[in-house]
Amino acid sequence: APGHRDFIKNMITGTSQADCAILIIAAGTGEFEAGISKDGQTREHALLAFTLGVRQLIVAINKMDTTKWSEARYEEIVKETSNFIKKVGFNPKTVAFVPISGWHGDNMLEESTNMGWFKGWSKETKAGASKGKTLLEAIDSIEPPSRPTDKPLRLPLQDVYKIGGIGTVGRVETGTIKAGMVVTFAPTAVTTEVKSVEMHHEQLEAGMPGDNVGFNVKNVSVKDIRRGNVCGDSKNDPPKEAASFNAQVIVLNHPGQIGNGYSPVLDCHTAHIACKSTDVPVTPSKTPPSSSSPVMPLSS
């Protein structure tokens, strides 16, 4: 997603379906500093990625050509970035830092001849240590997350198409989806049968967690379901609408005061929905809340 506040909604939708985030940082003088400032988009994107459950991160330091391939500038950015992603929640030791030039292609697919000082990236995770020289190698080193096929089906809808043959598109988060399965969409409680499941224009026997699938359903109008709805197996703990819930909220930067009746927009998987706080039993704190911190009841 572009590093602009106008596209935060798009960034949240995409990141909610991601297994890994690649944080692109501009190395140019002033650009990096603006990105990690209090209201900077680099800082906000990193925090949103962690908040949305992404635990694997790659940092690509771009536009190295504009710094005349400066090792000192690269080291400065790595140091500053490591500090702020650590505060967000990431462990810098598990993150690959790669200096690149998207314009010239340096360290993208092949090792750059302009940055002979770069000895390569390295990281340590629970699966072991890995190292490489390019962004492509960093992407290849990402560990496939566990795929919970044994849990009830949860498939947040990304898009609902009117075009015949395409149908409904979304990413399977848990469980499996198959042709012939009777599914329920929350919060509308619409129930129907799945006619077919496909991925990359090929029919699938079953859509598994992590798959971005398209599936057709019987006798359901595009007016009845929409992006943000969640599909589940009608016979195995189908998703249901919640009238209210308790939320643990971290306020990063807000111009006004938050209290009872505050109406934020909630971003949850692919849904963007207005809510209203009914009770805010919270005391101001400069530290992130613990699991026992007060929560904010919200109603949708």
Domain end call among 233, 259, 280: 233
Domain end call among 114, 140, 166: 140
CA distance 57 to 74: 18
270 shares its domain with 169 = no
Strand runs labelled E in 161-293? 168-171, 182-186, 190-199, 202-203, 212-217, 230-233, 244-247, 265-268, 271-274, 276-277
- Residue 291 has a pLDDT of 41
pTM of the model: 0.73
72's tokens: 């000192």
- For a pLDDT cut of 90, what percent of the chain falls above it? 56
130 shares its domain with 75 = yes
Average of pLDDT values for 226-249? 90
114 Cβ partners below 8 Å, 6+ apart? Answer: 64, 65, 69, 101, 104, 106
- Domain count of the fold of the chain: 3
Domain that residue 212 falls in: 155-233
287 Cβ partners below 8 Å, 6+ apart? Answer: none
**Confidence class for position 283, pLDDT limits 50, 70, 90:** low
- Residue 294 has a pLDDT of 46
Domain end call among 97, 113, 140: 140
Beta bridge partners of 214: 169, 198
Question: Is the per-residue pLDDT at 260 higher than 50?
Answer: yes
The answer to whether 276 and 261 are in contact (CB under 8 A) is yes
Range from 62-66, 130-134, 172-176, 266-270 carrying the lowest mean pLDDT? 266-270
226 shares its domain with 263 = no
Whether 150 maps to a domain, the answer reads: no
